[in-house]
Amino acid sequence: MRELPQVAAALAASELPRSHPDALPKAVEAAVDAAVNSLQDPERSAATKQLGLAPDLRRAGKTVREEKAAEELGKSRRWYQTRNRQYAGLTPAAFVIDQVARQLAADVADRLADPASGNGASNRNSALLSGSVAEIFLSEGYVDNSEHFKHSMSTASSVAMLGFSHSRMIASYKSELIALLSRGGTLRVMAMDPTCDAVIEANARSSAPKKTEQAARHQYQAAIADIYSIRDTVPTTGVFEFRLIDRMPPYTIYVFDEAAVQAELYVWLTPWRVPSSQRPGFRLSRGADEQWYDFFANQFAVMWDSFPPLTKADL
């Protein structure tokens, strides 16, 4: 059976001419067909029947061009991700086909959204073809947030946040969180208590620690004031809940639409003296990653229940 090298070759052959958007449907169709055809007959049948790769990607390519193509192919990729639970019975080779299709869709979308990026393989494809599972999985930046994260911030009906001070995220998404409360959504926040000893430990862990204890505590006090300013902007709508924790969080967790079937969460690790831009992070969805989604959602819930509610008057 021919495996990853042939799939890689098929993917490499799919490079799209930047100046010929009409080539999109044919290029997508040819790459997917070549990948599927690299399997033996039984696996080829399983891949086409259970994954439906060629029809869906062809449809995505044919319905739109340029900017709309990027949007449609992005939806196609997310659609595949929600079906992961149905892939349990696939052979390893058929699973590779699924991965190639996802990365192909994302790569096409990236290139159409940013024509200046050229025809070289994207970092995601390079990671896939090199066999690096970690590079594909740990793809959510904490500073350079993904488009998927930004979309969730803009459209979610609930956001739950666990972290150190959230100062970076509040600075970046304050208007989105105000809009969330304005439309009647729910915002739940857990952040570190500026008065606790763990704040000093967290400062020592930072890649750019404050020089004095007072400065370290002030950073957290200012962040809490920013968080409450979101609530104060729309005091009569939405649900705002806040809790202070006196421990260093084991990771940063953001949960979107936690009561919905399509709930998603983002997790970032908290390494020692590593810049925020290099924090490893990943995304999990309830539909596609139920076991691990439940694990991290439960981590949030357990910590939430471990600390009392707080009002601004308590500060």
- Per residue in 82-128, pLDDT (tens digit) is 444 444 444 444 444 555 555 555 554 454 445 444 443 345 445 54
Q: What is the Cα–Cα distance from 194 to 245, expressed in whole angstroms?
A: 9
DSSP 24-77: HHHHHHHHHHHHHHTS-HHHHHHIIIII-HHHHHHHHHHH--HHHHHHHHHHHH
CA distance 84 to 98: 10
Helix axis angle for 213-233 and 167-182, nearest 10°, is: 10
- What does the pLDDT look like over 39-71, one tens digit per residue? 555 555 554 544 444 444 444 444 434 444 445
Residue 138 has a pLDDT of: 87
- Domain co-membership, 232 together with 289: yes
Residue 142 lies in a domain: no
Question: 166 and 271: one domain?
Answer: yes
Q: 147 — phi, psi (to 5°)?
A: -60, -30
| Count of domains for the chain | 2
Task: Examine the domain organization and report whether 107 and 190 are in the same domain.
Answer: no
pLDDT at 288: 84
| Domain extent for 11 | 4-137
Cα separation values, 81 from 39, 76, 256, Å: 22, 9, 16
Residues 209 and 253 in one domain: yes
Regarding whether 151 and 291 lie in a shared domain, the answer is yes
pLDDT confidence band for 136 (50 / 70 / 90): confident
Residue 13: inside a domain: yes
134 band by pLDDT with thresholds 50, 70 and 90 = confident
User: Among 3, 223, 211, which Cα is nearest to 97's?
Assistant: 3
- Say yes or no: 166 and 131 in one domain: no
Q: Which helix (H) or strand (E) holds 96?
A: helix 92-113
Segment 267-292, tens digit of pLDDT: 999 999 999 999 999 999 998 889 99
Q: Are residues 182 and 240 in the same domain?
A: yes
Mean pLDDT on 175-195:
96
pLDDT over 80 at 1, yes or no: no
User: Is 137:102 a contact under the CB 8 Å cutoff?
Assistant: no
The per-residue pLDDT for 150 is 94
Domain harbouring 180, CATH code: 3.30.870.10
In this structure, are 154 and 133 located in the same domain?
Answer: no
Least confident of 8-22, 171-185, 196-210: 8-22
